[in-house]
Amino acid sequence: MPELSPTATRRVHGCLIHIDIIDGKIWIQRDGTEEGIATELVRAGVPKDRIVLGFRSEELRKNSEFA
Give tens-digit pLDDT for 22-36. Answer: 999 999 999 999 999
Q: In this model, does residue 9 exceed pLDDT 90?
A: no
More confident residue, 18 or 2: 18
pLDDT confidence band for 2 (50 / 70 / 90): low
pLDDT given for residue 6 in this prediction: 64
Distance, in Å, from the CA atom of 2 to the CA atom of 32, rounded to the nearest integer, reads 36
pTM of the predicted structure, to 2 decimals: 0.76
Mean pLDDT of 34-41: 94
pLDDT given for residue 30 in this prediction: 95
Q: Please give the full DSSP string across 1-67, using - where no structure is assigned.
A: -PPPPHHHHS-----SEEEEEETTEEEEEEE--SS-HHHHHHHTT--GGGEEETTS-HHHHHTSS--
